[in-house]
């Protein structure tokens, strides 16, 4: 097997896995911060219970995001050493800044938030959760600045002696338009992920008439935030589409399976190609729509794969510059489809709120817990699209993925690929188990300060354990 392919699989698996947890952290932190602030302002016990309950789920999820993030920081050097040499000047800086500005902030104040209640003034404890939310979102900004540069390199020169990219304009790097639109898109998606999560779990409880007041409030908050977030996601996505035409036209064309340049360009509803993605079997297209997506008017020209391929061959020499179209094409549609479902969920939620929870509409609520999956599908396919759509480049136009890989044997990479996959799968089981357990247990379980103290375990029997719900307050 080819170490490049294995390394790409490993990066894909570890990164997608990491990004299962990140968006929920990004969004849910704000939810908990807002709830705790509401409690601080109103002294309404319900808000306190809400903050505790969602805070508990936030913590379980946060831990997974943190530990899988360590792999992210290290694997550039471990698996992509030649890439790291080439871009270290530029890419390393935001990574180091991310650790210094964001990781310290979120980890330190999360520790304070978990252990500090009653030990620090209430205001400080409240400030801690806000700082955690700010810290994790800051972290997203810096990693997206790093990724933005891979998609659209700015502020650099190529050193003619070493052949490496060198930073010449730090401001250009951090104000890279690509990065900020990514940030907008990602943060909005984080809010939407949290909203779907909160709506799904709240619906589960509301159907069972558990703690109605608490879960109605949570549901309401999530429906409103979710709707704002999903509209924001869409606007950011639309802006990204227009940027793509300028910065990564090949990605745009391959998303749309647009082989030939068109003016006005049509949007593909369904295109069936062969497995290479290079030959068309059957398609159904809507006229004008792609022009709108690409440049915000209905008549502009959108360049097709064949034209761009020819141009790239002239610029970069012979080679295949077309990404694996079956992935870019379908991941985009998966992302968009999931986003549409999310929009419907939030709209339905808002309708329930405005109509005062009408009985005849409540039967649909049973579907909402399942809809928690939607943001996860959208988030993952969005990144798959962004990263595979850049191929064969690791840095757009500068360095190819195959040239960035470490000089490791295929066997070595295969071993770690299997290792990560197994341990990640095991952790996923534990994570889902805990999330489900606490989500179902309601706020009572989250309110125990010293929850579930097991008896002295030497010689203790299994049935002597206090159970979660059976324990007296």
What residues from 93 to 112 belong to the interface with another protein (CB under 8 A)? Answer: 93, 95-101, 103-105, 107-112
The answer to whether 403 contacts another protein (rule: CB under 8 A) is no
* Residues in 24-63 at the binding interface with another protein, rule: CB under 8 A: 59-60, 62-63
Among 130, 438, 442, 443, binds another protein (CB under 8 A): 438
The answer to whether 453 contacts another protein (rule: CB under 8 A) is yes
Output the smallest distance, CB 408 to another protein, in A.
Answer: 6
Among 363, 456, 463, 472, binds another protein (CB under 8 A): 456
* Residues in 139-178 at the binding interface with another protein, rule: CB under 8 A: 159, 164, 166-168, 170
Instruction: For residues 106 and 104, give the distance between their C-alpha atoms in angstroms, rounded to a whole number.
Output: 6
Matching residue, tokens 């170490």: 3
Helix (H) or strand (E) holding 400: strand 399-400
Among 412, 425, 432, 469, binds another protein (CB under 8 A): 412
Taking residue 238's Cβ as centre, other Cβ atoms within 10 Å add up to 15
Output the smallest distance, CB 231 to another protein, in A.
Answer: 34
Got the DSSP string for 318-376? Answer: SS-----HHHHHHHHHHHHHHHHHHHHHHHHHHHHHHTT--GGGGGGGGGTTGGGHHHH
Point out which span in 19-27, 117-125, 189-197, 256-264 binds another protein (CB under 8 A).
Answer: 117-125
DSSP class of 269: E
Output the smallest distance, CB 74 to another protein, in A.
Answer: 6
Output the smallest distance, CB 416 to another protein, in A.
Answer: 5
Got the DSSP string for 146-212? Answer: HHHHHHS--SEEE-TTT--EEES-HHHHHT-HHHHHHHHHHHHHHHHHHHHHHHHHHHHHHHTT-SH
Q: Is the backbone peptide bond immediately before 264 cis, with ω within 30 degrees of 0?
A: yes
Output the smallest distance, CB 82 to another protein, in A.
Answer: 7
Q: Which is nearer to another protein, 157 or 269 (CB)?
A: 157
* Residues in 77-96 at the binding interface with another protein, rule: CB under 8 A: 77-79, 81-82, 84-85, 87-93, 95-96
Output the smallest distance, CB 169 to another protein, in A.
Answer: 9
DSSP class of 471: S
Output the smallest distance, CB 391 to another protein, in A.
Answer: 22
The answer to whether 204 contacts another protein (rule: CB under 8 A) is no
CA geometry: angle 70, 163, 82, nearest 5 deg: 30
Quick check: 266 and 286 in contact, CB under 8 A?
A: yes
Point out which span in 194-202, 308-316, 374-382, 453-461 binds another protein (CB under 8 A).
Answer: 453-461
Closest C-alpha to 301, from 336, 351, 260, 269: 260
Point out which span in 182-190, 304-312, 341-349, 422-430 binds another protein (CB under 8 A).
Answer: 422-430
């Amino acid at each position: 097997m080819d170490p490049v392919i294995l390394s790409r699989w490993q990066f894909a698996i570890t990164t997608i896995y990491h990004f299962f947890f990140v968006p929920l952290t990004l969004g849910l932190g704000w939810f908990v911060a807002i709830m705790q602030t509401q409690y601080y302002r109103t002294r309404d016990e319900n808000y306190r219970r809400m903050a505790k309950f969602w805070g508990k789920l936030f913590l379980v999820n946060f831990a997974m995001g943190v530990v899988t993030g360590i792999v992210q920081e290290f694997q550039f050097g471990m698996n992509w050493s030649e890439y790291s040499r080439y871009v270290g000047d530029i890419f390393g800086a935001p990574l180091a800044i991310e650790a210094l500005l964001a990781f310290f902030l979120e980890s330190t104040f999360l520790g304070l938030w978990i252990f500090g209640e009653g030990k620090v003034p209430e205001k400080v404890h409240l400030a801690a959760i806000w700082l955690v939310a700010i810290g994790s979102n800051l972290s997203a900004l810096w990693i997206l600045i790093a990724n933005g540069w891979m998609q659209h390199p700015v502020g650099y020169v190529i050193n003619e002696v070493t052949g490496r990219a060198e930073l010449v304009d730090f401001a250009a790097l951090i104000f890279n338009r690509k990065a900020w639109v990514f940030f907008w898109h990602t943060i909005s998606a984080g809010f939407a992920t949290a909203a779907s999560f909160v709506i799904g779990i709240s619906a589960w409880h509301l159907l069972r008439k558990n703690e109605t007041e608490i879960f109605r409030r949570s549901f309401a908050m999530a429906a409103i935030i979710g709707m704002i977030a999903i509209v924001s996601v869409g606007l950011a996505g639309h802006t990204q589409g227009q940027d793509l035409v300028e910065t990564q036209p090949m990605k745009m064309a391959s998303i749309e399976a647009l082989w030939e340049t068109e003016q006005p360009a049509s949007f593909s509803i369904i295109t069936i190609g062969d497995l290479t993605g290079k030959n068309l079997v059957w398609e159904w297209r809507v006229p004008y729509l792609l022009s709108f997506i690409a440049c915000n008017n209905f008549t502009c020209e959108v360049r097709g794969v064949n034209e761009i391929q020819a141009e790239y061959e002239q610029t970069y020499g012979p080679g295949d510059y077309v990404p694996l179209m079956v992935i870019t094409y379908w991941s985009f549609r998966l992302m968009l489809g999931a986003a549409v479902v999310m929009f419907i969920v939030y709209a339905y939620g808002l309708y329930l709120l405005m109509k005062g929870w009408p009985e005849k509409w409540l039967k649909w609520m049973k579907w909402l817990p399942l809809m928690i999956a939607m943001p996860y599908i959208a988030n993952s396919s969005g990144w798959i699209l962004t990263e595979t759509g850049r191929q064969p480049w690791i840095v757009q136009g500068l360095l190819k993925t195959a040239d960035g890989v470490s000089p490791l044997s295929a066997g070595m990479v295969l071993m770690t690929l299997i290792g990560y996959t197994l341990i990640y799968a095991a952790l996923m089981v534990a994570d889902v188990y805990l999330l489900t357990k606490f989500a179902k247990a309601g706020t009572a379980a989250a309110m125990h300060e010293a929850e579930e103290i097991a008896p002295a375990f030497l010689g203790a029997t299994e049935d002597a354990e206090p159970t979660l719900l059976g324990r007296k307050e």
